């Protein structure tokens, strides 16, 4: 059972960013194909964070009524259908709506995976979190690197987006047996046997808000990078294929970091050295992108990849700062849903600043400010403590 759960988690994780980074690599083609304005293109890159915030906040309510397996089946089906429909539509509005459907499935899975780690692998939190974060990073990388070549091979950006629906459909399969077994429990829930509400309220704690701010700030920069880095390199003179590969390089180099970071976090008494190291790498990368984007592109990609290690760090910290599965899902839902509200500003403001100034100095300055906020929140979550003790 544990192996099947782990396999299912890894397949789900492969899908958690492919729908986002494939769009980032093809944003220019989609913008032309659907006649999107600059503001609309900025909204498209912001949509993932909006969906993740809204549906993430509702996930604890859903968990009390449906089993995690059934939720994951529904989530991956929504992701499959949404990706197919947005790849075939010619309407900008329908494209946004079907993208939202796909992202809703991802939003639920975002919250559930840390809870499943706590439930099924309580003594291997760092290792399993590292494994599924690495799978997430692999999916992100492959989508970013291959979206443009697939689109060119089939002669349309639609193929570069729609191909990932097949991967989402495969992720449904490991959860079907458990989802079918949960039908009886689901019927009892429908008759009123709803699980009791958790007494844990992260919104009333300093730790909960620090987790949310750290998650939000690192996601803000992460989604801005996924949405706009390829465009930055295109503007610097790189061919579209090379710009997509540089974006993929950030996530590809993040694969070993995604595996290593949770292990380090689980062994260190304080997370402060990791927080400072990640901040330093991101600062150097942003400055390099502002002043020498073409000459030092490979170095900035390497530094960005290390700086984005803040994502596996915060996912691991969610498990480390809760004693129970209830505490983990409550903290995960609050940190991620609130964090994605903060993160929604990233791609949108980067797009607005880029459109208003015609360059990348102002957007990068904004990302440096967000990084300073992230570092401050990181100092709060660095000390070992538990959300159950702060109720």
Q: How many CB atoms lie within 10 A of CB 219?
A: 27
> In Å, how far are 76, 191, 193, 228, 331 from 187, measured between CA atoms?
22, 6, 9, 46, 28
Handedness of CA 113, 52, 341, 344 (dihedral sign): positive
Q: What architecture is the 202-389 domain classified under in CATH?
A: Up-down Bundle (1.20)
User: pLDDT tens-digit profile of 139-183?
Assistant: 887 887 888 899 999 999 999 999 999 999 999 999 988 888 866
> In Å, how far are 6, 128, 175 from 3, measured between CA atoms?
5, 11, 12
Q: Is 156 helix (H, G, I), strand (E, B) or coil?
A: coil
Expressed in angstroms, the distance from the first to the final Cα of the chain is 34
Q: Is-contact 23 30, C-beta < 8 A?
A: yes
> In Å, how far are 9, 222, 336 from 109, measured between CA atoms?
9, 18, 11
Q: CA-CA distance, 287 to 335, in Å (whole number)?
A: 29
Q: Is-contact 169 163, C-beta < 8 A?
A: no
pLDDT tens for the chain, 391 residues: list them: 678 889 999 999 999 989 988 887 888 888 888 887 777 777 787 788 788 888 777 777 888 788 888 999 999 999 999 999 999 988 888 998 999 999 999 998 988 888 888 888 877 877 888 888 889 888 887 887 888 899 999 999 999 999 999 999 999 999 988 888 866 444 444 334 344 455 778 888 999 999 999 999 998 998 788 778 888 998 998 888 888 788 878 877 888 888 888 888 878 778 999 999 999 999 999 999 999 998 899 999 999 999 999 998 998 898 888 888 788 888 888 998 898 888 877 877 888 899 899 899 999 999 999 999 999 999 999 988 888 887 6
Q: CA-CA distance, 71 to 328, in Å (whole number)?
A: 17
Residue 183: partners with Cβ closer than 8 Å, 6 or more residues away: none
Fold match flag (1-191 vs 202-389): yes
Phi, psi of 123 (to 5 degrees): -100, 5
Q: How many CB atoms lie within 10 A of CB 128?
A: 26
Q: Is-contact 343 216, C-beta < 8 A?
A: yes
Q: CA-CA distance, 172 to 14, in Å (whole number)?
A: 12
Q: CA-CA distance, 48 to 91, in Å (whole number)?
A: 19
Handedness of CA 99, 177, 141, 365 (dihedral sign): positive
CATH fold for the domain made of 1-191: Growth Hormone; Chain: A; (1.20.1250)
Enumerate the domain spans of the chain.
1-191, 202-389
Residue 190: partners with Cβ closer than 8 Å, 6 or more residues away: none
Q: CA-CA distance, 136 to 6, in Å (whole number)?
A: 13
Please give the biggest Cα pair distance in the chain: 64
Residue 193: partners with Cβ closer than 8 Å, 6 or more residues away: none
Note the residue count of the chain. Answer: 391
Q: CA-CA distance, 336 to 318, in Å (whole number)?
A: 10
Residue 38: partners with Cβ closer than 8 Å, 6 or more residues away: 351, 355
Joined together, the tokens standing for residue 36 give 């999107």
């Amino acid at each position: 059972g544990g192996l099947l759960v782990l396999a299912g988690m890894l397949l789900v994780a492969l899908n958690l960013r492919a729908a986002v980074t494939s769009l980032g690599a093809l944003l220019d083609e989609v913008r032309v194909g659907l006649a999107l304005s600059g503001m609309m293109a900025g909204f498209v890159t912001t949509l993932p964070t909006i969906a993740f915030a809204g549906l993430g906040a509702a996930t604890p309510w859903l968990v009390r009524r449906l089993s995690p397996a059934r939720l994951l089946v529904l989530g991956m089906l929504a992701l499959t259908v949404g990706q197919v429909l947005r790849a075939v539509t010619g309407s900008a509005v329908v494209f946004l709506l079907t993208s939202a459907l796909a992202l809703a499935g991802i939003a639920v899975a975002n919250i559930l995976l840390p809870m499943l780690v706590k439930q099924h692998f309580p003594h291997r939190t760092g290792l399993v979190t590292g494994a599924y974060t690495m799978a997430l990073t692999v999916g992100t990388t492959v989508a970013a690197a291959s979206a443009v070549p697939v689109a060119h091979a089939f002669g349309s950006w639609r193929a570069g987006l729609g191909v990932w629906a097949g991967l989402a459909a495969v992720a449904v399969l490991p959860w079907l047996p458990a989802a079918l077994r949960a039908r009886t429990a689901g019927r009892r829930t429908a008759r009123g046997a709803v699980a009791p509400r958790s007494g844990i309220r992260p919104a009333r704690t300093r730790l909960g808000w620090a987790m949310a701010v750290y998650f939000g700030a690192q996601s803000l920069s992460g989604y801005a990078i996924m949405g706009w880095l390829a465009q930055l390199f295109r503007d610097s003179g790189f061919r579209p294929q090379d710009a997509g590969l540089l974006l993929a390089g950030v996530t590809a180099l993040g694969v070993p970091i995604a595996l290593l970071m949770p292990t380090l976090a689980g062994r260190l008494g304080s997370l402060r050295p990791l927080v400072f190291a990640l901040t330093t790498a991101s600062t150097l990368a942003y400055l390099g992108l502002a002043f020498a984007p073409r000459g030092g592109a490979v170095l900035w990609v390497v530094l960005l990849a290390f700086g984005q290690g803040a994502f596996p760090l915060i996912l691991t910290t969610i498990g480390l700062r809760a004693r129970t599965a209830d505490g983990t899902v409550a903290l995960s839902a609050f940190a991620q849903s609130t964090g994605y509200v903060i993160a929604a500003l990233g791609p949108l403001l980067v797009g607005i600043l880029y459109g208003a100034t015609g360059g990348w100095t102002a957007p990068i300055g904004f990302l440096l400010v967000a990084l300073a906020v992230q570092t401050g929140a990181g100092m709060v979550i660095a000390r070992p403590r538990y959300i159950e003790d702060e109720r």
